[in-house]
Amino acid sequence: MVKAHSLLYAIYVCLIVAIICGALLYFSNLYNQLNLYYNLQEELYIQNQSVLNFALGNKMAPAEIEKDENSGIEGSYETKPYGLLSLVLARSYISNDSVFSVHFAGARNLDKNAVYLTNFSKSLFYSGSVKLIGNNKLPSTFIETSYINNDLNKLTAEGKITISEMQLPEVNPEFKKIFQGLKSEKTKLSDIEKPNDSLYYNSFFNATKEIEVQSNLGNIIFKGNFIVRSGDSIRVKKNTVLEDVILIAPKITFEAGFKGTVQAFATKGIELEENVTLHYPSVICVYNESETEAKIKIKKECQIRGAVVLFGNASHLIDKNTIEIDEDGLLFGDLYCSGKLMLKSNVYGSVYTNRFFLKTAASSYDNMISNIEINTEKRPDYFISIQLFNTQKTTYGVIKKVL
């Protein structure tokens, strides 16, 4: 004879077993759904990368992408300019799920030219230890020695030396377009939402926001799709954080110790005080089409990864446009100067100028370089330079992922 409480215990046990089995089935179902979700996300990311590769392979020209028949995932992309850089906005999507990405992209630099010095004046002279690694286009195939100090003169030149033209190669027309105006939405700083205190962010999927600022830019953070403009001048203090931002003003100054990623455009001059670091891909550009003086001054221990450009003057106004780069710094990229250039820091890339000059405590020397290295071989293949010239390129690549 079975007691009544024993039946009750059996019911309790069966109920507990049922709950445990139901929970196991429920968690198993959740795990399967989660696994399907992550697999879908992985396929979306893979498809997004494929869309980006397709855009690069298609030289970023507009094109339609066919739907993936196996997964049902669709993809699309668009490209648009951002200063002197190009943006690729890639999207992969299915039903209500999608993955977005934004990259700076550009054409790979196939230029192996170390120095292009126009055949405008006398030959190139050197003093001290000088390395020119790459092809050179100079007024003469012979680089002359000059003794202006007590250092041992040593020239290392690897590559072909050919006679240059009377003029520099014409700079990319896109450089001028920057100074004619950029497509943007003018916005007050107070109207921009801040995710955190002092942080202003704008996605590259949004329209570019243009902000008018006072002369001093300090204790503030700008990240993303911004144009920061001033009608007079901008002084960027070292406690300012700028990431992928465009600066436009007649004069721009970066305080000593500043670090950031910017495209800076001016008409009168740009100055980098000591120990400024501009990360890849940054641009320092001055456009001077007037007869007044314009200057780029880069002081000691500055590092720039990108491009330094001064252009716009007529050939008879070479002395009105000057770039001066002091010692112990590094330019990782390209330098273009339609005026005269004093170069005391190494360049891992290419240098184009109408004239070199060198100032010492005793005198000034024309077409003189001293104790520097200009080396195209130290610019690796994955490094994509700012496109200085409007030439046909065959291979495109990613400069930086920004979203």
Strand order through the sheet with 85-94 = 74-82, 85-94, 97-107, 396-401
CA distance 390 to 43: 37
Average pLDDT over the chain, rounded to an integer: 88
Q: Residue 108's pLDDT is what?
A: 80
- At 48 the three-state DSSP class reads helix
**Residues facing 374 on adjacent strands:** 132, 347
**Before 81, cis peptide (omega within 30)?**
no
Please tell me which residue, 222 or 107, carries the higher pLDDT value: 222
Q: How confident is the model at residue 3 (pLDDT cuts 50, 70, 90)?
A: low
Burial class (CB in 10 A: 0-12, 13-18, 19+), 289: middle
Q: Residue 61's pLDDT is what?
A: 84
In this structure, of 14-18, 304-308, 335-339, 398-402, the range with the lowest mean pLDDT score is: 14-18
Q: Enter the tokens of residue 188.
A: 């007050």
- Side chain identity, residue 320: K
Taking the CB of residue 260, how many other CB atoms lie within 10 A of it?
Answer: 21
Q: How confident is the model at residue 4 (pLDDT cuts 50, 70, 90)?
A: low
Residue 70 has pLDDT above 80, yes or no: no
Q: Residue 323's pLDDT is what?
A: 96
- At 318 the three-state DSSP class reads helix
Q: Residue 94's pLDDT is what?
A: 84
Percentage of the chain exceeding pLDDT 90 = 51
Q: Residue 58's pLDDT is what?
A: 85
pTM: 0.88
Q: pLDDT (tens digit, 9 = 90+) per residue, 39-56? A: 767 788 888 888 888 888
The sign of the CA dihedral 67, 71, 73, 77 is: negative
Residue 5 has pLDDT above 70, yes or no: no
Q: pLDDT (tens digit, 9 = 90+) per residue, 192-238? A: 777 666 688 999 999 999 999 988 998 899 999 999 999 999 999 99
Determine which helix (DSSP H) or strand (DSSP E) holds 51, and give its type and residue range. helix 4-57
C-beta of residue 260 within 8 angstroms of C-beta of residue 234: no
Q: How confident is the model at residue 181 (pLDDT cuts 50, 70, 90)?
A: confident
Q: pLDDT (tens digit, 9 = 90+) per residue, 333-378? A: 999 999 999 999 999 999 999 999 998 877 889 999 999 999 999 9
Strand order through the sheet with 125-127 = 144-145, 125-127, 368-370
CA distance 65 to 72: 12
Q: Residue 208's pLDDT is what?
A: 93
- At 122 the three-state DSSP class reads coil
- Side chain identity, residue 150: N
CA distance 379 to 108: 11
Q: How confident is the model at residue 115 (pLDDT cuts 50, 70, 90)?
A: very high
Residue 1 has pLDDT above 80, yes or no: no
The torsion angle over the Cα atoms of residues 34, 35, 37 and 39, rounded to 10 degrees, is 160
Residue 32 has pLDDT above 80, yes or no: no
Q: Residue 357's pLDDT is what?
A: 93
Q: Enter the tokens of residue 197.
A: 């205190």
Q: Residue 120's pLDDT is what?
A: 79
